[in-house]
Amino acid sequence: MNKIQSLKILLVLGALYYLVSAVVHFFGFTLFPFYDKALYQPYHDTVIALVAIILSLLLLAIARNPIKNIDALNVIIIGGIIAIIFSLGIILKIDFTQLGAPAKKTQTIVEMILLFIYTALLFYLKPKKL
């Protein structure tokens, strides 16, 4: 399997992750071990679901032809870096215990680490601009 095929698979897996995330946020399901139903807010979680669906569609569009869509792929990578920075800020700024969801801090750390790995793989697998 070459790097382009691996990149396509990684992009599709990311799209599937965000589609599952959209469903979970929209309906307030308990899917992950750190999920706290008390933090579910219908308005905010519906907006998150909408953004997750749009991100899924973008990842699928890029996966069709990563070479042609290199600029969009670069935007996704930059977005991943920004999301990692925001996650770090959330970890440092939010008192999850005061919110009544102390395990949410662990979830945020795990998600940040996984996003770092995903973004690093996207960066490693991205084609060189022609």
For 35-69, give the secondary structure using H, E and C: CCHHHCCHHHHHHHHHHHHHHHHHHHHHHHCCCCC
Residue 54 has pLDDT above 90, yes or no: yes
Residue 101 lies in a domain: yes
Residue 78 lies in a domain: yes
Residue 19 lies in a domain: yes
pTM for the model: 0.88
Residue 75 lies in a domain: yes
Residue 102 lies in a domain: yes
Top pLDDT among 57 and 107 is at: 57
Range of the domain at 11: 3-125
Residue 82 lies in a domain: yes
pLDDT band at 27 (very low <50, low <70, confident <90, very high): confident
pLDDT in tens, 109-128: 999 999 999 999 999 999 98
Residue 130 lies in a domain: no
Residue 23 lies in a domain: yes
Longest dimension (CA), the chain: 51
pLDDT in tens, 72-121: 999 999 999 999 999 999 999 999 888 878 888 888 999 999 999 999 99
- pLDDT, residue 41, reads 81
Total domains present in the chain? 1
